[in-house]
Structure 1
């Protein structure tokens, strides 16, 4: 099975008779329900096998393959993508990382039988701050006793099992919490009370529930990964999901850009098409460049999970932080093209408003942008002193998107500091003969200068500057790091691509990224105009040829 197979199965989204097309997706959203026909279709396809490692009977061998398949589903309906199965993967990845053989086989049996596992972590009072979660599990005679609340948990009411995160020690520090893998049927009815659904503006078909536990007994063998290892397991396993999620968001952005292009090409204004307006062409071109940047950045992160797993402790939060901002900004920019049509809940462009509502929680859920910066900050001084401008770049295979990969090994992921930063080292490489003159040479020099400045500033950070109490200037350095990392990834992907991707598209990507750094633009006004015209025409051609806007340029139904 492949993303192409899933696309064929899902059919033409614009066909009003398609039971899983845009019309059906929008109708289910209006009813605030999951798309039942979509769930039935995914059941028949055995979609949950995407989340189960191959040794346990599933199809999970490569992170990039998982991301591409999920991207295909999220391009059609993010609520179906989250509510049908990805929420189960958020839970199951902890089991694959730290579970016993019996727990892994049990989880595989559930998922391959089209069942669900809820990731029961979140508490409204603490959000992503796992270290202060209050739901408590205490050892009793032969079992654990759970007391507390969990809120805004996907599929908690209809999941057959759950991975629970609970406090097991009152002592401060990272060994205060543990994880548990339990079946819902193993919990007594008087020990758990379901909370009403939490209403939301996005993901309206997803069951965002909660539960209150009162002296609820958990089996002694439910402990997952050892007592006191809950935070460590989460930090390791969620490196996978924090790279997969940015790659998935390219799907909804593809649909949004396609919808905005349709509107701009079809709608008449001022005696011509909306797409004839220079500002509109510029917006569409810039969003297309942003989509390519997100795809390249997340694609390198996905390959790093296989090839340089010790570095993903910093790459994963960096990708989640920057791409979420870029995607939200892109949706906002596209609203300027669609105008009032971007808010309509019926008609040919109605899918845009659903995508815009659904993508918002996807960009901050699981881990917030601020939490990502908090994870990055402690890494910066060490990387600045020991890695940047002194270590060689990562192996070329890291940037060869789509090339062969070794099997994903979750046991190689680490929760500690990375040993190096081979992606950032790309910026220190000498400029090639073909890039030395012209815009690419100027971008390379600008990015090297930015890296030298960042290195000097990060090397000077003190202990007080790398904690959650750090000042705005320190967080701004972490922000700049993510932009430079994305630029390095894009440069290396294009170089490794050997002409597969147009050079002018790379110029557009780097122009957009350096804009986020501030300072004087690298391109002249005439160069920027030519670049944006190229990107606009390339996007129109992809749209008319029914090809994806991402770096794969796959043909899609329609």
Structure 2
């Protein structure tokens, strides 16, 4: 087992048990029944309580296990593979809230939130107001000074776990004037509020994530101590933008567990379905689509792995990489599940029978593209950084350390204080491409070298275009062609991530160029990958399916009936 996969991830899988076991209280049948009722699976929450999942969201200095972002992602993939509602509703929502406290809170504030989480309670991040969507700068909820106190007034809506959270991290306007220093983050202890001081709003129903506890609260001049502000007054937007770099990197990476289960469900069905005198798995088109989905899952996890490691190793560049991860990984996952749905045909939307889980996964995955922060917002955050990246890094910058790509390499502690609003032109990931070309290549890797040379040429052309962008093309009013530059940049980074992981791995399958060549062909919209490449991918996919292993980079053993009955 590599250091990228902590033993506790395997322990969580064992605790959750065989999903196919009808008697398993956190198996597929129980998950589907809870979804039909629109409930969070109670047995699943009890299992995660027993595991102590909240400790994964707390830094070790406060008694938790949040030492490495990549370890957290792998643990949470085990939950997302089982049920995305548990992944977000039990886990990720509290993690999002906690990150803001670890980023800006003082030791006493961080200690209080850590105690809440380690005691098994929920923490909610209350940013959203329906009238303003992802535009945090327009937030109307206020925290008005009243002597040594603040009085909170307004509504927060469509917030996960807000009605059952012990503590809230609330974004509030502390200055009526517009500008970047107009908002603050306020830590609210709900148990300490006067009775009747806040009003619960009705729960919001959803098409996907039906069991997610989405609600709202209304405050009417609710008093809280002035010391409840996280960081300096007026720093709320800055803190949120920094904390987002961690969460919008890790959350899409966690969600690859959903595609893993969707792909497994499709394989189970297609392997059992007889068509034209054989199983559906013998049809060339079916085999090609499955190989492509497998390649895209590997590509998504490669980008997620490099992005999460960058939080530790090059946090100053996380503003760029986090946006690229959210934008590219979410699209990879969504498109892949759509392609599987096409293979399943009418079976993809059945709510009963062997494929019933697929329709839930399809619905539950949708928020990965817009939840927390939308893909379009990620493009907009990349645009103003592209010209400086082009000038300072893409044609001669300092390359990333090898540890960024070596999944067995240890990582330094997360340094929340080193996160920056702007990368200042630092892009060691893109700069590593030139360094890779200068290194040794054996004959077996000639196609990869040719692909890397093509990427280096594209990066140079992209650099010339982006360096010449006028200021009028750096913002929301940019032309569609300029937005496409952000898309091209993100797609190119996915290929660099795959190439570099292949060059730094000792895993026999990942060291084979086949999966990287498949990624290159798929992103360049060229002809389909050569037959031997598809055959190698499909062979590995079917072996993992037979051996009950995950389909991502780690290829971890998964719980199944033979194992759980021993």
Question: What TM-score range do you get, normalising by the shorter chain?
Answer: over 0.9
Question: Partners of 2:219 and 2:466 in 1: how far apart?
Answer: 45
Q: TM-score normalized by structure 2?
A: 0.95
Residue in 1 that maps onto 2:4:
none
Residue in 2 that maps onto 1:433:
441
**Helix, strand or coil for the counterpart of 1:204?**
coil
Residue in 2 that maps onto 1:464:
472
> Equivalent of 1:41, from 47, 64, 67?
47
Q: Which string of whole-angstrom CA distances, capped at 9 and with x for unpartnered residues, describes residues 76-100 of structure 1?
A: 0010111112111111111111111
Instruction: Give yes or no for the alignment of 1:343 onto 2:353.
Output: no
Kindly tell me: are residues 435 and 477 of structure 1, through their superposed partners in 2, closer, same or farther at Cα, counting changes over 3 Å? farther
Residues 443 and 510 in structure 1, CA contact (< 8 A), matched pair in contact too: yes
Question: Partners of 2:66 and 2:310 in 1: how far apart?
Answer: 16
Question: Partners of 2:211 and 2:315 in 1: how far apart?
Answer: 35
Instruction: Give yes or no for the alignment of 1:369 onto 2:375.
Output: yes
Q: Which string of whole-angstrom CA distances, capped at 9 and with x for unpartnered residues, describes residues 294-339 of structure 1?
A: 1111100111111111011100011001111111100100001111
Residue in 1 that maps onto 2:20:
14
Deviation at 1:141, TM superposition (A): 2.2
Residues 435 and 441 in structure 1, CA contact (< 8 A), matched pair in contact too: no
The 5 Å alignment of 1:282-297 reads 282-297=288-303
Aligned positions, number:
550
**Helix, strand or coil for the counterpart of 2:530?**
helix
Residues 95 and 103 in structure 1, CA contact (< 8 A), matched pair in contact too: yes
**Helix, strand or coil for the counterpart of 2:157?**
strand
**Helix, strand or coil for the counterpart of 2:426?**
coil
Greater CA drift, 281-290 or 81-90:
81-90
Question: Partners of 1:227 and 1:131 in 2: how far apart?
Answer: 15
**Helix, strand or coil for the counterpart of 1:144?**
strand
Question: Partners of 2:513 and 2:454 in 1: how far apart?
Answer: 18
Instruction: Give yes or no for the alignment of 1:555 onto 2:557.
Output: yes
> Equivalent of 1:108, from 106, 114, 120?
114
Residues 314 and 418 in structure 1, CA contact (< 8 A), matched pair in contact too: no
Kindly tell me: are residues 232 and 77 of structure 1, through their superposed partners in 2, closer, same or farther at Cα, counting changes over 3 Å? same
Residues 49 and 58 in structure 1, CA contact (< 8 A), matched pair in contact too: yes
Residues 296 and 332 in structure 2, CA contact (< 8 A), matched pair in contact too: yes
Question: Partners of 1:483 and 1:544 in 2: how far apart?
Answer: 32
Greater CA drift, 433-442 or 413-422:
433-442
Deviation at 1:428, TM superposition (A): 2.4
Deviation at 1:271, TM superposition (A): 1.9
Deviation at 1:420, TM superposition (A): 1.2
Residue in 2 that maps onto 1:455:
463
Q: Which string of whole-angstrom CA distances, capped at 9 and with x for unpartnered residues, describes residues 114-138 of structure 1?
A: 0111110011121111111111111
Residues 208 and 364 in structure 2, CA contact (< 8 A), matched pair in contact too: yes
Residue in 2 that maps onto 1:395:
401
Residue in 2 that maps onto 1:240:
246
> Equivalent of 1:476, from 484, 489, 500?
484
Residue in 1 that maps onto 2:563:
none
Instruction: Give yes or no for the alignment of 1:253 onto 2:259.
Output: yes
**Helix, strand or coil for the counterpart of 2:186?**
strand
Q: Which string of whole-angstrom CA distances, capped at 9 and with x for unpartnered residues, describes residues 259-314 of structure 1?
A: 11111111111221111111111111000000000111110011111111101110
Instruction: Give yes or no for the alignment of 1:138 onto 2:144.
Output: yes
Kindly tell me: are residues 41 and 499 of structure 1, through their superposed partners in 2, closer, same or farther at Cα, counting changes over 3 Å? closer
Deviation at 1:192, TM superposition (A): 1.6
Deviation at 1:217, TM superposition (A): 1.9
**Helix, strand or coil for the counterpart of 1:423?**
helix
Question: Partners of 1:169 and 1:338 in 2: how far apart?
Answer: 54
Residues 310 and 419 in structure 1, CA contact (< 8 A), matched pair in contact too: no
Residue in 2 that maps onto 1:195:
201
Residues 135 and 147 in structure 1, CA contact (< 8 A), matched pair in contact too: yes
Deviation at 1:213, TM superposition (A): 1.7
Q: Which string of whole-angstrom CA distances, capped at 9 and with x for unpartnered residues, describes residues 44-70 of structure 1?
A: 111100001111111111100101001
Residue in 2 that maps onto 1:518:
none
Residues 491 and 506 in structure 1, CA contact (< 8 A), matched pair in contact too: yes
Q: TM-score normalized by structure 1?
A: 0.96
The 5 Å alignment of 1:267-286 reads 267-286=273-292
Greater CA drift, 80-89 or 152-161:
80-89
Residues 313 and 418 in structure 1, CA contact (< 8 A), matched pair in contact too: no
> Equivalent of 2:189, from 183, 186, 210?
183
Instruction: Give yes or no for the alignment of 1:265 onto 2:288.
Output: no
Residue in 1 that maps onto 2:531:
529
**Helix, strand or coil for the counterpart of 1:42?**
helix
Deviation at 1:533, TM superposition (A): 2.1
Deviation at 1:499, TM superposition (A): 5.4
> Equivalent of 2:132, from 111, 126, 132?
126
Question: Partners of 1:553 and 1:491 in 2: how far apart?
Answer: 19
**Helix, strand or coil for the counterpart of 1:355?**
helix
Deviation at 1:187, TM superposition (A): 2.5
CA-based RMSD of the aligned residues comes to 1.5
Deviation at 1:416, TM superposition (A): 2.6
**Helix, strand or coil for the counterpart of 1:166?**
strand
Greater CA drift, 128-137 or 418-427:
418-427
